[in-house]
Amino acid sequence: MTGQDRVPGRLRVAVAAPLSEENCARIQELEPRIDLVVDRSLLPPMRWPADFAGDPAWQRTPQQQRAYEAALDAADALYGIPDVDPAALARAVRANPRLRWVHTMAAGGGGQVKAAGLRTDELDRVLFTTSAGVHGRPLAEFAVFGVLAAAKDLPRLTRQQRNHEWSGRWTMGQVNQQTVMVLGLGGIGRSVAAALHALGATVIGTSRRNVGVPGVSTVVHPDRITEVAPTVDAVVNTLPGTEATEHLLGKRFFDAVRPGAALVNVGRGSVVDEAALVDALDSGRIGFAALDVFETEPLPAHSPLWDHARVLLSPHTAALDTAEDRLIAELFAANATRLLDGQSLINRVNTVEFY
């Protein structure tokens, strides 16, 4: 990687994650005051869109690693967490006292920042932002898919088709007659709420702040979800993984839900206590679960979720979209403009709770 020396009023950005020539050009078109420092020979090849960790079989030579780190250590900002590795992020922050900003590729990048174990002074010195919001529409579609699959009894349909069984007719659930609780009203939650509202569902949202959100009829504090649980037909989790959200959906919640309610998880796996979920599925308290994220990924082979008749699994791929790389690049450019103009950044990580 090579780049010009710092110029007042400009932002030197080391590209720490795979970035196409097209998206490099897009960033510089949107914010010409950026000097991008990028050498694709030092970045792993992507196997699919938004594969920012790249091919795990790829490795740098020692000389390439020194060149990669030298570029990171001379930058004002980083596009991506180096090698999506919290330890590499900590090294970069400590080796570069002039580093001002790191943008993470993940919507839940706060967890990666937390894992870096940075000191308070380091967290105060460097701004961290995430790519929250760019995944909203794809995840909203998966959430709607999960709610619809539950309402139309997808497990029964697939079982009867597999068994060539032509049963008697039955009344399917109608989403327009249902109440759905959306946990979290950030960018993803708002997209989910809007999509469900468009189908006619009554949407209850959760937030720790007093907010008004289009398409959401009622907003409750997360502390009240167990109180509200008996009134909902489906629950969609969009929350990040934090200490406050860990196992928020556990035995107490599942014992309170309306029997047969559906669960869709497009947030973080740690929000759901999977052992309690399996018990709730076995008892019928949860009638169907559509899960894109899990407590441990990849999902262990011994997990009972793999073979549960009322579970639909997705290998953390619901957010993937061919437009994702471009949308992240555009978000980064918009934030670079804000940084250069002295404005607050979009999606800044809360470095106390790391979301």
Give catalytic residue positions.
268, 297, 316
Residue 36 DSSP one-character state: E
3-state SS class at 196: helix
Spatial neighbors of 165 by CB under 8 A, at least 6 apart, are: 159
CA distances from 183 to 142, 188, 225, 266, 344 (A): 15, 10, 9, 10, 26
Tokens describing residue 305: 């979720």
Tokens describing residue 56: 């795990």
Rounded to 5°, angle at Cα 138 from 51 and 227: 115
Angstrom distance (rounded) from CA 255 to CA 227? 11
CA distances from 315 to 33, 87, 297, 335 (A): 39, 25, 8, 30
Which residue in the block uniquely carries the two structure tokens 């959760």?
Answer: 206
